[in-house]
Amino acid sequence: MTAEAGIVLMIATTATFAASDSTVKVIGAAVPLVALLFGRYSFQAIALGTWQVRQGINPFRNAGALKLQLLRALLLLLNSACTFAGLRYLPLPVTTSLAMMAPLIATLLAATLLNEEVPKSKWSMVVLGFIGMLIVVRPGSGDFSWTVAFPIGAATTFACFQVVSSKLSTAGDPTTTNFITALVASVALAGLLWVDQADLLPEIRKVTVGSWLLVLVMASLATFGHLLMLQALRRTPLALLTPFSYAQLAFATLFSWALFGKIPDLWTAVGMLVIAVSGICTVLLHARARLR
């Protein structure tokens, strides 16, 4: 029953993240990107910081290597920046599907940077995922745009983020790790806001109360999604949960239809399905190899 509960929590996590991305899509360019990111991470830092105060300072004694914590925060911040930028220019399902190529990119990184031996079965999934990406973006068509670099960048940074997170997984309490990530990201973004205040402050003053409320909704959903994921991971192994993370594609399509009246065309839907299949198979192959 514990494993099933973890799967249910993981699916709820994907729905929450899809809702958070949908909120970003609704906001559009009404809020400067740096301010949007600052709102997202400062809320998470405050929420998790409050939790840490209630738990005491003991969890920080095993927070892990400082360099890895800083790198993790930077990678997640870059991932969010790429995702938010992509959502401003691309349909929600397209951005989500391209960002879901993270397992495939992780395979490429393992082979090229870590010199790991990658079996032919995994390489075939990488090729299949690349084909799916080409079907979605369709280079040479009128719908193709350089803005697809944003979700692909999100997938790349998230693949690196997962590698760093795995190294920190045994270093201490995961809530503490997420708090440190949010705190570091908030400090970095506050620095950017201060450095570029001459250009950003006039734009921030134009933001309506309604848009700020949506930023609060987005930040709440993102933080709640991370907490749900932590609860899922405490109940079920990551290898079993990861395939269910592709449920986010279905929720992204649902929210795109409900909020914007847009659904993927046939070829985009086919490409999304190919990416999902290749990603799920990559995860399953990796899990089977670890069991040997």
Cβ atoms of 6 and 233 closer than 8 Å = yes
- What are the angstrom distances between the C-alpha of 251 and each of 18, 226, 245? 6, 17, 11
pLDDT in tens, the chain (292 residues): 566 788 888 899 999 999 999 999 999 889 999 999 999 999 999 988 887 777 665 555 555 677 888 888 899 999 999 999 999 988 899 899 888 888 788 777 777 766 667 777 878 888 888 888 888 877 765 555 788 899 999 999 988 887 777 666 555 667 777 888 899 999 999 999 998 888 888 899 999 999 999 999 999 999 898 888 878 877 777 667 777 888 899 999 999 999 998 888 888 889 889 888 888 887 777 666 665 5
Please name which of 23, 77, 33 lies closest in space to residue 204, comparing C-alpha atoms. Answer: 33
Which pTM does this prediction carry?
Answer: 0.85
Question: What is residue 201's predicted lDDT score, i.e. its pLDDT?
Answer: 87
Tokens of 63: 């927070």
Map out the domains of the chain as residue ranges.
Answer: 2-291
Cβ count within 10 A of residue 230: 16
Those residues with Cβ within 8 angstroms of residue 192's Cβ, 6 or more apart along the chain or in another chain: 34
DSSP 134-152: HHHH-TTSTT--GGGHHHH
For 206-265, where are the alpha helices, taking DSSP H only? Answer: 209-235, 238-241, 247-260
DSSP state of 10: H
The CA distance from 157 to 71, in Å, is: 11
Cβ atoms of 221 and 44 closer than 8 Å = no
Question: How many C-alpha atoms does 154 have within 13 Å on its Cβ side?
Answer: 21
Work out the end-to-end distance of the chain between its first and last CA atoms, rounded to an integer number of angstroms. Answer: 26
Question: What is residue 31's predicted lDDT score, i.e. its pLDDT?
Answer: 92
Question: What is residue 124's predicted lDDT score, i.e. its pLDDT?
Answer: 86
